[in-house]
Amino acid sequence: MNNSIVREYTNVDFSNVVDLMTSLQSYFKEIDTSGEKINFENRQSAEEYIRKALKDVEEMNGKIFVAEFENKIVGFIEGVIIGHRDDDLYNLTHMKNIGGWIGLLFVDTSFRSKGIAQSLIGKMREYFKKNNCSSMKLKVDSENKLAINVYIKYGFTPRDLEMTVRI
């Protein structure tokens, strides 16, 4: 049962979101088969990453929402709005639209399978709809089976496949 509250991020949440981001990056490194991912060097690196995400949110009409359970931040989602009106190549091959892009989503491992990710995605979807987005997109590592299953459950379908090889 989901007893969490999803609300908009405030500056008071910074330290907690940095902690979650550190866990997320550690998970990304753990599942990375390309050998390209690294853990943050230190807390300052994680803080810098979140500051850059906050800057993107500010510059791209985005939002960060947090999930709170018993006064503890247990998850977050970050999303931005991208319009392709000024991208000539894109406009020649795609319908014009405004897209909502989820950049980050993480739920503390102790709070998974409780519907928190679904609540965070739902809140972001509401935000995107309110801002005239015609789609909600994200990029997910092909090794991140847990996230892929959550996204499919919420109605996302795979579209592009990025491939890599070390040289």
Q: Which residue in 102, 104, 114, 97 sits closest to 76, CA to CA?
A: 104
The string of pLDDT tens digits covering residues 71-103 is 999 999 999 999 766 677 777 887 778 899 999
Q: Tally the domains of the chain.
A: 1
Helix (H, G, I), strand (E, B) or coil at 57: helix
CATH at residue 94: 3.40.630.30
Q: Is residue 72 part of a domain?
A: yes
Structural domain of 82:
5-153
The answer as to whether 158 is a domain residue is no
- Residue range 109-124: mean pLDDT, rounded: 94
Quote the pLDDT of residue 85. Answer: 63
How many residues comprise the chain? 167
What is the per-residue pLDDT across 8-55, written as a single tens digit (0 to 9) for each? 999 999 999 999 999 999 999 999 888 889 999 999 999 999 999 999
pLDDT for the residue numbered 24: 93
The structure tokens listed for 66 are: 């947090």
Residue range 128-162, pLDDT digits in tens: 999 999 999 999 988 899 899 999 999 999 888 88
| Residue 24 lies inside a defined structural domain of this protein | yes
For 22-45, b/e burial (b = at least 16 CB within 10 A) is: bebbebbeeeeeeeeeeebeeeee
Q: Is residue 18 part of a domain?
A: yes
